[in-house]
């Protein structure tokens, strides 16, 4: 099976010691975000976990911990690293982008380009961050990541209720502007051997030369795992999204990047309250066991097929 760590929060950036402790313990307990007392126990064992997927804006804290003893080494990994050109008024606690780029390069050197992906999302347009700004910023970043990234996933801002609440001044990006940005990004990507993908966007953007197949696809995961995977059918999160949204061990309202466009946080106060309950030695990301918890062991099996490894 595949375990995701980053659809709800940024574990490498803020919970690296906890995650390393969970790997050493061999399991993690995850609360259902919609039913607090319903808890799932996942084994963190490479015999049943074919791939660990990370989504982060700052891999370095976890990379620092792994230098003394790489407990991740037995696991196949895939890393989505978000690197965008926004300032601290948009992304208050994201490290300097040059630092994140260097972390990306470390991951690429260690795992290979098929196990890392650059995310440039979400894209929004404002007076400061206009189309020309995005094109120039993307060109600078692509030049720095040339040879280290083979794919860049872009998506345009979605105005979920949480986003509207925390970033009310922003609007959706008009389709014509999306097409211009995609066209220019594809041109730049070709100069640096970086393929451009969109995720959850209009299929008409294929006319601009982008790959519209999605970011978390069977093919992407197989390339990272190095083998064919017999992945069960998953219900799409959205009709325009083809991604395989597998089991996630994170929790909402726990990301301290405090990005204005975040869909996973309700508000700053809730995040701060939750972070006070984090214990790096707990089996839970936030808090601990409660008397009324109903713990269920997840049904975990390897999805590797008899066809064996790809390479």
Contact 232, 218 (CB under 8 A): no
143/141 Cα distance (integer angstroms)? 5
Residue 113's contacts (CB-CB under 8 Å, 6 or more residues apart) are 148, 149, 150
Tell me the sheet residues that pair with 38. 294
**127 or 215, higher pLDDT:** 127
What the block records as the tokens of 292 is 């009324």
The residue-averaged pLDDT of 108-126 equals 96
Q: Is the peptide bond before 122 cis (omega within 30 degrees of 0)?
A: yes
The confidence score (pLDDT) of residue 236 equals 60
Contact 264, 255 (CB under 8 A): yes
Contact 63, 81 (CB under 8 A): no
pLDDT in tens, 267-299: 999 999 999 999 999 999 999 999 999 999 999
* Residue whose C-alpha is closest to residue 85's, from 131, 117, 133: 133
CA angle at 219 for the pair 213 and 225, rounded to the nearest 5° = 145
pLDDT in tens, 163-174: 888 898 899 999
pLDDT over 90 (residue 52): yes
Q: What is the CA radius of gyration of the chain?
A: 19
What the block records as the tokens of 63 is 């990379």
What is the 8-class DSSP label of residue 192?
T
Contact 107, 81 (CB under 8 A): yes
pLDDT over 80 (residue 149): yes
Residue 206 CA, chain-centre distance (Å), reads 23
The confidence score (pLDDT) of residue 235 equals 67
**Region of residue 136 (phi > 0: left; psi between -120 and 50: alpha; otherwise: beta):** alpha
Portion of the chain with pLDDT greater than 70, in percent:
95
The residue-averaged pLDDT of 14-37 equals 97
Residue 17's contacts (CB-CB under 8 Å, 6 or more residues apart) are 65, 280
């Amino acid at each position: 099976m595949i375990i995701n760590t980053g659809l709800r929060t940024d574990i490498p950036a803020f919970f690296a010691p906890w995650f390393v402790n969970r790997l050493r313990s061999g399991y993690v307990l995850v609360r259902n975000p919609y039913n607090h007392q319903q808890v799932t126990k996942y084994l963190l064992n490479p015999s049943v976990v074919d791939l660990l997927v990370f989504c982060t804006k700052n891999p370095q804290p976890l990379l620092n911990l792994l230098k003394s003893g790489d407990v991740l080494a037995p696991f196949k990994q895939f890393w989505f690293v978000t690197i965008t050109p926004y300032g601290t008024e948009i992304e208050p606690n994201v490290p300097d982008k040059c630092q994140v780029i260097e972390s990306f390069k470390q991951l690429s050197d260690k795992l290979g380009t098929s196990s890392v992906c650059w995310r440039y999302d979400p894209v929004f347009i404002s007076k400061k961050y206009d189309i020309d700004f995005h094109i120039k910023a993307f060109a600078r970043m692509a030049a720095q990541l040339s040879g280290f990234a083979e794919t860049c996933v872009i998506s345009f801002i979605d105005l979920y209720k949480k986003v509207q609440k925390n970033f009310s001044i922003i609007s959706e990006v008009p389709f014509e502007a999306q097409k211009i940005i995609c066209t220019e990004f594809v041109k730049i990507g070709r100069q640096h051997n970086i393929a451009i993908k969109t995720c959850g966007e209009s299929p008409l953007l294929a006319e601009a030369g982008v790959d519209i197949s999605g970011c978390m696809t069977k093919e992407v995961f197989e390339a990272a795992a190095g083998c064919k995977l017999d992945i069960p059918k998953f219900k799409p999160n959205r009709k325009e999204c083809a991604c395989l949204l597998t089991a996630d061990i994170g929790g909402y309202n726990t990301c301290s990047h405090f990005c204005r466009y975040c869909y996973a946080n309700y508000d700053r106060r809730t995040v701060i309250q939750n972070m006070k309950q984090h214990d790096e030695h707990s089996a839970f990301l936030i808090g601990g066991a409660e008397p009324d918890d109903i713990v269920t062991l997840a049904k975990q099996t390897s999805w590797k097929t008899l066809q064996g490894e790809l390479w």
